[in-house]
Structures are given as C-alpha cells and as structure tokens.
Amino acid sequence: MIEVIALDADDTLWHSESRFHETQLRLSEILDRHAPHEEVQAHLHELEVRNIKLFGFGIKGFTLSMVEAAIEISRGQITAEEIHEIVMMGKAMLEMPMELLDGVEDTLEEIGHHYPLVLITKGDHMDQYNKIEKSGLAGHFREIEVVLKKDAAAYAEVFTRHGTDPAGVMMVGNSIPSDILPILELGGHGVYIPYHVTASFERHDEEPDSPRYHRLDSIQALPALLRNQ
C-alpha cells in the first residue's frame, strides 16, 4: 500500500540535463582545434566520474571538470579568454530560471491532496536548494532532502530519520540507477519517467523486472497510476 510519494527533481520536475548537454557542445566547439568532439566528450565524462568524489554532483563541479578537461585536452594551450568563457557558461547555468516540465505543478497539486510528498534530490546543496527555490515548488513537499548520492543506504537513512517504511514509498524519477533500483531493493515502488537526455553516468541498459516497477511517458500519467494501486 502506497503511503508516501517521493520524487526526484532534475529532469523529473524541471529541465536540467538538456542544459548540461548544450554546454558540453559549446565546450567541444571551443576545443575543436585541439581534439574531435567525441574525444572531448569522453574525456569530460572521465573527469566528471573521477571528480564526483571531490565535487559531488552539480553545476560547480561540472564547470571545474570542464576547465580541467580544456587544459588537459589543449595541453595547456587553452587561452585565458577561453577559460573565462567556460567559467561564464557555468555561471549562466546557475543563473538560469527553472523551466518546469509539462504538467508538473498540476500533478503535484492533485496527488498532494492524497499523499504526503517528499522531494529527494542529489547534488551540491547550494545548487539544488537554489533550483528548488526558483522552481516555486517547495510548498508542495512535506520534506526536502538533498543527498550526496542515491543508493539504498542513502534512501534507508532518509526514511529511517522520518519514520517511514520504505515498503510504503513510491519513488518517481528519471534515472533507473539513482531513483528506481535503490527503492526496489528496499521493498518500495519505483516509477520511471524517462527524460529525452540522460547523463552518461545515469544510463542503464535494462529495466527492472518487478511488479513494483512502473514506466510512464510523463508525470501527468502519475495520478491515474496511483488510482489503480
């Protein structure tokens, strides 16, 4: 029986990864005289994965990884002006207004009448809380949690702290590794809503085989799914 609805934020409630993707493309353009597009993207991904332990998930860590990639790929030939442009691209991402996905506000309003809502997102605390404030959605949630990573242990800690049985939680998100697999491991329910762009470290080849797993085309289909539970 579903008692709590937990939701991811980035690319579940508002657009995020598409902005990272556009910025990465511009980085490739800046470095096109030093390396082909594929090499730039591969090296940036390698650095992001390596730097997550130090910087965590978020725009600031992503910007530092871009600067590091530019210096390494260009073998130190990147100009001060180009590094400044990369830094400014990161600042522009931080300052962008939040663009909600279609139907998000109405869906939260509807399901919030029947279930307590919890927001669980990962990343840099300042970055994520800035997004949440700009989104205007904070008032829909009973609790807001920003975690460093999303695995079964992190979810279990959150639910234990709030006195919530994971078996009664339905987690909604766009990442199978981060949003779906951990909650299924804890005995809860997972709802996967794909976003049109997926971060390289969030990709997953197979969908779970579980009666507690659901896939929806959009968040607007969530109320109907809940009515049938």
Look at residue 203 in the predicted model and tell me its pLDDT: 64
Instruction: Considering only the C-alpha atoms of the chain, give the largest distance between any 2 of them, rounded to a whole number of Å.
Output: 60
The β-bridge partners of 64 are none
Residue 194: both structure tokens together = 């794909």
Tens of pLDDT, residue by residue over 22-75, are 888 999 999 999 999 999 999 998 998 888 878 877 888 889 999 999 999 999
Look at residue 120 in the predicted model and tell me its pLDDT: 97
Q: Is the pTM of this model over 0.85?
A: no
Dist. CA 207–CA 195, nearest whole Å: 15
Res. 221 pLDDT band, cuts 50 70 90? very high
Please say whether the beta carbons of 14 and 69 come within 8 A. Answer: no
All domains of the chain in start order, with CATH: 4-14+99-227 (3.40.50.1000), 17-95 (1.10.150.240)
Region for 55 from its dihedrals, namely left if φ exceeds 0, alpha if ψ lies in -120 to 50, beta otherwise: alpha
Closest of 3, 10, 226 to residue 137, by C-alpha: 10
Tens of pLDDT, residue by residue over 99-136, are 999 999 999 999 999 999 999 999 888 888 888 999 99
Tens of pLDDT, residue by residue over 129-151, are 888 999 999 999 999 999 988 99
Look at residue 6 in the predicted model and tell me its pLDDT: 98
Tens of pLDDT, residue by residue over 187-203, are 999 999 998 766 655 66
Dist. CA 181–CA 175, nearest whole Å: 9
Look at residue 198 in the predicted model and tell me its pLDDT: 63
Please say whether the beta carbons of 57 and 48 come within 8 A. Answer: no
Buried (b) or exposed (e) across 165-202, using 16+ Cβ within 10 A?
ebeebbbbbbbbebbbbbbbbbebbbbbbebeebbeeb
Tens of pLDDT, residue by residue over 78-104, are 999 999 999 999 999 888 888 999 999
Dist. CA 68–CA 76, nearest whole Å: 10
Buried (b) or exposed (e) across 24-33, using 16+ Cβ within 10 A?
beebbebbee
